Structure 1
Amino acid sequence: MPRYLLAIFAFAAITQSGCAIHGQARCPSGEQASTNELTYFGTAKPGGVVSPEEWASYLAKSVTPRFPAGLSVWPAAGQWQSAQGSIVKEASFVLSLVYTPSEANEVAIRALVSEYKLQFQQEAVLRVKSHVCVSL
């Protein structure tokens, strides 16, 4: 087996075992197991950018109805590599959601990502999911 394949398999095994450990961790007394989802939405689209008004409308119609308990949003600037290999630099929005892990919430996240990609002709929306413990 080529060395690079062995390295890839070793890396995958280590990172996946880490996910299993964190996913099964118990929260201290007074805290609740939750998911923190950071979702990165690019704003460049054919013919322009997603305007603040379009973003506010998307939040009101697609995100808030699915996650009415609360959310945080902030503007960001970043870059990513397209499917064609070019580096794309653009303004973006980061959406942070903290929710109880469930199949219904996973379906809701996938739906709002799909809606954004379709509505604003996006190639990708980045999701970063972490298992966390929360308290109020």
Structure 2
Amino acid sequence: MELKFRVAGRIAKPVSAVFEAVVNPDQLSRYFTTGGANGRLETGATVTWDFHDFPGAFPVKVVDVIKDEKIVFQWAAYEGPGAETPKYDTTVTMLFEPVDGSRTLVTIAEEGWRETPGGLKGSYGNCEGWTGALCAMKAWLEHGINLREGFYK
């Protein structure tokens, strides 16, 4: 069985605002990367994201960016706490679609885990994480509330 998932949610903001909230490190750091983001997401760039719940900056290798439509990046697979995680990357694809003229459907898919118990655990963990990220993005963009503030530390 191929280990992959897809989550989606609608945000009551135009595509351009939602897209910018992901590619801009200052904005991303306000609701998602609790330890900060460094570098704008642009095709070919490698940026870093830091999270209080997983200390240490993670390299994010940006594969493709199409303004207001799509972001594709790769980052190290994580197979759970205490796991002897083999070194390989998963691929994340974020799609941004206009809905009703003033809303955006954000779809996040991740794939590439090894078909092992550790890979399954890692995919479930990241599915949970991306669901939380969509909720945090919606709360921030629509209401200015940071859901992740104090959530992990």
TM-score under structure 2 normalisation?
A: 0.35
Query: Which of 1 and 2 has greater Rg?
Result: 1
TM-score under structure 1 normalisation?
A: 0.39
Report which of the two has the higher share of helix: 1
